Amino acid sequence: MQRVASPLVVAASLEELWSPRVVAEFDDSYVKVAKVQGSLAWHRHEDEDELFFVLKGHLRIEMEAGTVDLHEGETFVVPKGVRHNPIAEQECLIMLIEKKSTLHTGDVVTEKTRSLDEQLRPV
């Protein structure tokens, strides 16, 4: 059995912001980590929920119905179809659990959008 590094250690080692990397997979889902700072983009995932878990720092998820503030160790699931925009005022390390069909920035494409091939690159 292959041993997997700590998601926190992997996320901390990333050099690119808003560029998730797949660290594990199970059934039809990927576990991803990312280093984030600033704003990603308003977007939605029509058919997939998206789980955010803050490994280190603080993440704000803006949604049309309100805002959720997440601190280290906290989790929030953005339901499918909900427009949202993740924001980190300072550098933040996150873990995401998403279906394999989930597009990075959902229904929009920006300069921060990463393809699945980019997310699957070795760490």
Query: What is the share, in percent, of the chain residues with pLDDT greater than 90?
Result: 79
Which positions ≥6 away from 122 have C-beta within 8 Å? none
Q: In which domain, by residue range, is 58 found?
A: 7-102
Q: Which pTM does this prediction carry?
A: 0.92
Beta-bridge mates of residue 68? 61
Domain presence at residue 110:
no
Domain presence at residue 117:
no
Q: Buried b / exposed e across 3-38, counting CB within 10 Å, b at 16+?
A: eeeebeebbeebeeebbbbbbeeeeebbbbbbbbee
Cα-only R_g, the chain: 13
Domain presence at residue 2:
no
Domain presence at residue 75:
yes
| pLDDT confidence of residue 1 | 47
Segments in the chain below pLDDT 50: 1
| Tally of domains in the chain | 1
Report the CATH number at residue 34.
2.60.120.10
Domain presence at residue 89:
yes
